[in-house]
Amino acid sequence: MIQDSTPEADPPTSGPRPDPGTPQAALLSWILSILLIGGVVYLNQFTPKAPRSAAQGTISAPVDADLFTLYAKVVTKIAAAGYTPDKASRESLISNVDASAQTPVERLRAALIAADIGGSEAGSQRLALLEGDTKLPDDVRAQIPLFRRVVSGETPTLTAEEREQLVKDHGWFGKLALTRGKPATDPEREPLVRGGWKFLALGAAVLILALIVVLGGLSCFVAMIVLLATGRIRPAFDPPAPGGSVYLEMIPVFAGAFLAIKIGLPALTGVLTGGGSTPQWAILAMLLVQWSLVVIVFWPRIRGVPWSRARQDLGWHSGRGIGREMMAGLFGYFAALPLLLGAMAVTALYVIARQAAQKAAGETPKPPDNPIIDVISNSSTLELCILFTLTTLWAPIVEETLFRGGLYRHLRGRVALPVAVIVSAFAFGVMHGYEFFTLLPVMTLGLTFALLREWRGSLVGPMFVHGLHNATIMALVLSVFSLARG
């Protein structure tokens, strides 16, 4: 779809020309954009999230897709690999499990993990805290005596019926409890705890890669500063003259369609299922329907703009050569890594401070919601494949075309560079489903891609590094999930 940069049909002009469209359509597009993006933000930030698979009061065997179960498996496998030679390291792992346990059922199971890693006292302490919860569901409270016996090392005294019930109600956790105290090589325990060294190897590889990336990012950052200071980097983007609306119109069309999907598909699912839990086919349908939004990138053509002009205006051209644009995008991305790492550090400090405040208030610290992790934890192999294509192909094509190709271009014809960069990056960020105060890294990515668009004119670089960034994150997350599931 990216073509050579030479226009095919447009006559030469003496200066910047306005984009197709009218001022009236531009005004309407701005109003609709604000309203519709605001609606997406409201849904993302203020509507109740779907309950986790471990329900508040109903005990049922966990499934591999459950996020808490996956996290508990990771911690247990790492501990079994010998990563916890001292008390401090064991307590660190246990505290992470405590933080991820959000429901009474999960807190009950977290006591088993605490006992398995830290000993009977660690498990008993958590059961005592859980028992003191006046809002504890009856079925959870009824199982505390059995769990107290398990964490106290009385597993051999359990009856066959109690053992069967433990496994039936708690699955992997029940099986782990029945093998507590046995060596990791025991035939019953080994399938439950193997794979810890793979996690440690993955962690070491990630640390080495992170070190290389940080050093490369600092080098590229310094090089970029030098190139800018010496005037060797000049913008290739040509802002349009004020006027026009077609490229701005893409934003409300996209936001409206996205909002319709987020509201309509769950509502339809609720009607078809009678308001029950979300079926697996609904997740698949959501992913497939989102792919259909790719047609919005052809909105200018629908509005009658010749393709030769639309692809030039949107940045769908090869610039100074596809390979060169890709390398320039990679250089710009690495140069912006210090900013991205800073944004991630600020977000991490916010999360740490919030969890500390929750703990001080007597609440269980909760990690930020992550819609991608939630989808991954509940998806089949087919759905994971579709999700991977969404993040590595759909997102670079659609989001870059809309936010850097359309919105940024429209803004640059009217406002200064910093304003256009910030506004387009903010709009790009808030369309994502993360908690608002954790969106800073996403907005920083949007800022980086907008600056690349200004520098190169072409979207080849932003699309390439956008896809590469997402592919790296997805590969890492899927690797962790695959190892946790065994």
Whether residues 251 and 296 share a domain: the answer is: yes
Candidates 269, 298, 273; CA nearest to 286 is 269
For position 127, what pLDDT does the model report? Answer: 93
Whether residues 264 and 385 share a domain: the answer is: yes
Q: Is pLDDT of 84 > 70?
A: no
Candidates 427, 437, 439; CA nearest to 399 is 427
User: Among 178-182, 213-217, 410-414, 454-458, whose mean pLDDT is lowest?
Assistant: 178-182
Alpha helix stretches (DSSP H) within 14-159:
23-46, 67-78, 87-100, 104-118, 120-131, 138-151
Q: Which residue spans within 135-273 are E strands per DSSP?
A: none
Residue ending a domain, choose from 153, 175, 194: 194
Whether residues 205 and 170 share a domain: the answer is: no
Three-state SS at 317: strand
pLDDT tens string 102-114: 788 999 999 999 9
Q: What whole-number distance in Å separates Cα of residue 327 and Cα of residue 151?
A: 56
Residues 84, 86, 92, 94, CA torsion sign: positive
Q: Is pLDDT of 58 > 50?
A: yes
Instruction: Tell which wins on pLDDT, 404 or 63.
Output: 404
Instruction: Tell which wins on pLDDT, 269 or 12.
Output: 269
Other C-beta atoms lying within 10 Å of the C-beta of residue 438: 20
Q: Is pLDDT of 61 > 70?
A: yes
Q: How confident is the model at residue 8 (pLDDT cuts 50, 70, 90)?
A: very low
Whether residues 365 and 224 share a domain: the answer is: yes
For position 64, what pLDDT does the model report? Answer: 62
Q: Is pLDDT of 13 > 60?
A: no
Please report how the helices 138-151 and 120-131 are oriented relative to each other, as an axis angle in degrees rounded to 10.
Answer: 160
Domain that residue 213 falls in: 200-485
Q: How confident is the model at residue 364 (pLDDT cuts 50, 70, 90)?
A: low
Residue ending a domain, choose from 141, 174, 194: 194
pTM beyond 0.95? no
Residue 116, judged by CB atoms within 10 A of its CB (0-12, 13-18, 19+), counts as: buried
CA distances to 82, 241, 281, 379, 387 from 284, in Å: 39, 43, 5, 8, 9
**Does a structural domain hold residue 31?**
no
**Does a structural domain hold residue 158?**
yes
For position 275, what pLDDT does the model report? Answer: 67
- Please give the mean pLDDT across all residues of the chain: 88
Other C-beta atoms lying within 10 Å of the C-beta of residue 304: 9
Give the pLDDT mean for 50-61.
55
pLDDT tens string 170-215: 999 999 999 988 888 889 998 888 888 888 888 899 999 999 999 9
Residues 176, 178, 182, 186, CA torsion sign: negative
Whether residues 267 and 128 share a domain: the answer is: no
Give backbone dihedrals phi and psi of 158, rounded to 5 degrees, phi first: -70, 145
Whether residues 182 and 210 share a domain: the answer is: no
Whether residues 140 and 254 share a domain: the answer is: no
User: Among 119-123, 244-248, 285-289, 370-374, whose mean pLDDT is lowest?
Assistant: 370-374
Give the pLDDT mean for 355-379.
76
Residue ending a domain, choose from 158, 173, 194: 194
For position 392, what pLDDT does the model report? Answer: 96
Residue 193 contacts residue 128 (beta carbons within 8 Å): no
Domain count, the chain: 2
Give the pLDDT mean for 414-439.
94
Q: Is pLDDT of 442 > 70?
A: yes
Whether residues 318 and 353 share a domain: the answer is: yes
**Does a structural domain hold residue 87?**
yes
Residue 58, judged by CB atoms within 10 A of its CB (0-12, 13-18, 19+), counts as: exposed
Give the pLDDT mean for 465-482.
91
Q: Left (φ > 0), alpha (ψ -120 to 50) or beta: where does 195 sit?
A: left
Q: Which residue spans within 252-347 are E strands per DSSP?
A: none
**Does a structural domain hold residue 46?**
no
Residues 11, 325, 459, 423, CA torsion sign: negative
Whether residues 94 and 243 share a domain: the answer is: no
CA 350 to chain centre: 17
Give the pLDDT mean for 70-97.
82
For position 10, what pLDDT does the model report? Answer: 47
Other C-beta atoms lying within 10 Å of the C-beta of residue 437: 13
**Does a structural domain hold residue 307?**
yes
Residue 105 contacts residue 54 (beta carbons within 8 Å): yes
Q: Which two tokens stand for residue 155?
A: 């597993």
Whether residues 143 and 172 share a domain: the answer is: yes
Whether residues 240 and 280 share a domain: the answer is: yes
